[in-house]
Structure 1
Amino acid sequence: PDIIIGQGTCAVCSAYTNEITRALEILENKPVVEIMDPHSIDDILSSITTIARRLDREKQGIELTKALQKRIHDVKNTNYSTRPKTLCIEWVEPFFTAGHWIPQMIEIAGGTNLLSKSGEHSRKMTIDEVVSADPDIIIMMPCGFDVNRTRSECADSLTKNPKWINLRAFK
């Protein structure tokens, strides 16, 4: 390859820095390596521009970034009648909040983010924290899982804990 694009945000997700380093050891011709480590939506948009520039596709990168910024602007400027308390769970056993850019996305989409902060790493949380927050909406989004795996693993974890059934999000 001419370029390898990886991420330094999470070792569970796609190609992580350590895996890329090991792969480079066996390649004769060393490609350019671009490691993205976004913690906000602006960081993601900046990463798009950086990658486009590396691929000599700066014009397309700028067009894509502008299109995404417009979509974000349109969603942000929607009038919402309510701002539901929303909890995004990034990992199931143990529970982890979804950090980095996810809290920003919740706020932009009209929700009130719970138990995590924009730009910060995802963190372990307890069921008691979830119960205290009593979210209106819970979004199960385990890192690297497809929908079917999310359903099966989350259903298992949630049905085993009676504290879930009293949450507003489950009523």
Structure 2
Amino acid sequence: MPDLSPAATQLIRSLDLQPHPEGGYYRETYRGREHVVCQDGRTREASTAIYYMLCGSDYSAWHRIRSDELWHFHAGSPVDVHVIADGGIVTHRLGDPLRHAGAAFQAMVPAGHWFAAERVDPGDGADFALVGCTVAPAFQFSEFELADIETLAGLASGHDALLRRLAR
């Protein structure tokens, strides 16, 4: 674990968070018992939920999944969730709107869209951001695709620096 504040370390331990392949830490907290049939005929649990935490300079690298993903702010620094859409990038600021200008408690990433996220340092001393992610239909690692910079080339005109910075 990198050199983190006592609060960040306590949350990682108390929530039993583990390293995530895209960056940061996570733990699945819910997987629905009900199943749904998707438009393409696949059957999945109706929904899943996780805790997801970014610490220090961690970021969630560009990736996409085959389901909608709703992000929920819980604690710490705000998070910018960047979504490639219509040849550009839409950025959602996730955070406490009472403390973080322009932030919202929730943000949605549509199924199949490339997206990445990074912690925003508002200068308040928090070295982490704790969020929740709800995926419907349920998240499956087999449907998780991590992008490299070649995959992203040309998808968001004028955003090359951001694409490179958040790629693995």
TM-score by length of 2: 0.28
Answer with 1 or 2: which has the greater Rg: 1
Which structure carries more relative contact order (alpha carbon 8 Å, separation 6+)?
2
TM-score by length of 1: 0.28
Greater share of strand? 2
